[in-house]
Structure 1
Amino acid sequence: MLTIHADSRGHAVLVRGDRIEAVGPLEELAAAHPHARVRSWPGILTPGFVNPHGTELLEEAYHPDPREAEALGTEPLTGDALTDLALDDARWGGSARRGVQRMFAHGTVAAACAPLRNRAVRDAVLRTGLELLPRGPVSAGVPALDPLASALPPTTAPAPAPGSPARFAVFDVHDEAELAERGAATCVATVVAGRLVFRRR
């Protein structure tokens, strides 16, 4: 199935399966592929972010289940807060899935990680399609779900191009300057391996 994703500027990518088939103006792609499904998004289409703190956010933090919000809150728990939690494989796996989903909600399409040692976390993350990139054992900055809030220069995935993996994000802002000012919570859609893994309701 062919899908065209387009932003408010008329920039568009044509996706077939898990790959980008073409990049160009919406009018040109739609005319060349009249049977493609068109998804129009407000804002700007970007390559998406690489979060530099994959290890800290996925293997060294617990993302509470919404049913635990009254007791544990909604923010990731780290450090001493993890000590009192009885985290078995099922809870670690669930936490990792929720953590990845929260990353997707911030336009993250890849994370830099040391090798994940917790098998439940590793298996859960691999099933999400989030790309894991190697990094050194220590990363500077502050771990944050919003890559623009980590106190590090933001890193993006490679720009969408024909033949490249269909991996990108759309933010409801006018330009990159507004994105830097308002943050990655302005994400309206994230696509990974050709799948729409996050859509703002």
Structure 2
Amino acid sequence: MLTLHRATLLLSAPADPTAPPVADGAVVVQGDRIAGLGPYPELAAAFPAARTREWDGLLTPGLRNPYGHWLLECAYHPDPREEIGTEPLHGPALARLGLDEARWGGSARRGLQRMLGHGVTAVAGPFERPAVRTAVTRSGLLALPGDGARGPLDPLGPPAGLSLAEAAHGSLTTGGRADFTVLELDAEGRRTGGCLATVLAGRLLHRRR
């Protein structure tokens, strides 16, 4: 099935100053690949059978979270049923939990789901715990090399301080894997950082409600 994702702005290569944003841009997805990208009117004419999703935001490559090792192997993401809060636990609070591999795996799955909610489609390791490695593999997020640095779930938000050019993972290209996010824009067309949607390998895995 073909899906045409239409957005207020399309920025296919944030790190490339020669690739300016396209107003009323779109990306066409077929399976897990990008079948076309560019101005919406052109793609709508070229792919008349595609179903359309419309986003009032900036469509850009999925983000890279460089803090995956710390977030998934040094912090615990609570299950709401545990009633121990919603924020990741680390340090002495983590040591008191006495986690086994099964709980580390559940924590990693919840952490990865939260990353998708911030537009993340690639996460940096290293991933040394077997349960965490399995969770990352099954999630479909790309696993990247990393240095184990500590940081937040949202690579664009404080205290990370990464620019979009730094946080975006690669660029969107025809034939490339369909990993992208849609970021919120304010009334004047400026990026606010909030994530409206995340598409991973062509699948819409997060949508703000």
Residue number among 148, 161, 184 corresponding to 2:173 in the alignment: 161
- 1:39 aligned partner: 53
| Unaligned residue ranges in structure 1 (runs of 5+) | none
Give the alignment partner of residue 91 of structure 1, picking from 91, 103, 126.
103
Identity percentage of aligned residues:
54
Structure 1: which 4+ aligned runs deviate by more than 4 Å?
Answer: none
CA distance in 2, matches of 1:173, 1:12: 16
Distance 1:48 1:171 in 2: 10
**Superposed displacement of residue 89, structure 1:** 2.2
Once the two structures are superposed, what CA deviation does each residue of 1:39-90 show, in whole Å capped at 9, x if it has no partner? 111111011211110101111111001112x3x1100011211111132222
Per-residue displacement from partner, 1:79-110 (whole Å, max 9, x unpaired)?
Answer: 21111113222211111111011111111111
Query: If each structure's helix is expressed as a fraction of its own residues, which one has the higher value?
Result: 1
| Structure 2 counterpart SS, 1:31 | helix
Asked if 1 retains the 8 angstrom alpha-carbon contact of 2:140 and 2:200, the reply is yes
Q: Is this contact kept in 1: 2:119–2:182, CA < 8 A?
A: yes
Q: How far apart in 2 are the matches of 1:195 and 1:152?
A: 28
Instruction: State the Cα deviation string for residues 91-150 of structure 1 (Å, max 9, x = none).
Output: 111111110111111111111212x111111101111111111123x43xx510111224
Which deviates the most, 17-26 or 148-157?
148-157
1:78 is paired with a residue of what secondary structure? coil
Aligned counterparts of 2:102 and 2:135: Cα–Cα separation in 1: 10
Q: C-alpha distance in 1, partners of 2:101/2:31?
A: 32
Answer yes or no: is the 8 Å Cα contact 1:3–1:39 preserved in 2: yes
Give distance in 2, aligned partners of 1:189 and 1:36. 19
SS in 1 for 2:112: helix
The equivalent residue for 2:43 is 29
Match of residue 60, structure 1, among 51, 74, 88: 74
CA contact (8 A) 1:20 1:166 kept: yes
Who is 1:151 aligned against? 160
- Worse-matched range after superposition: 37-46 or 87-96: 87-96
1:188 counterpart residue number: 196
Pairing 1:128–2:139 present: yes
Paired positions, count? 191
TM-score (structure 2 length as normaliser): 0.85
Distance 1:151 1:172, change over 3 A: closer
The residue type equivalent to 2:3 in the other structure is T
Deviation at 1:171, TM superposition (A): 1.0
Partner amino acid, structure 2, of 1:6: R
1:151 & 1:200 partners in 2: Cα distance? 22
Which AA in structure 2 matches 1:187?
C
Q: C-alpha distance in 2, partners of 1:189/1:151?
A: 21
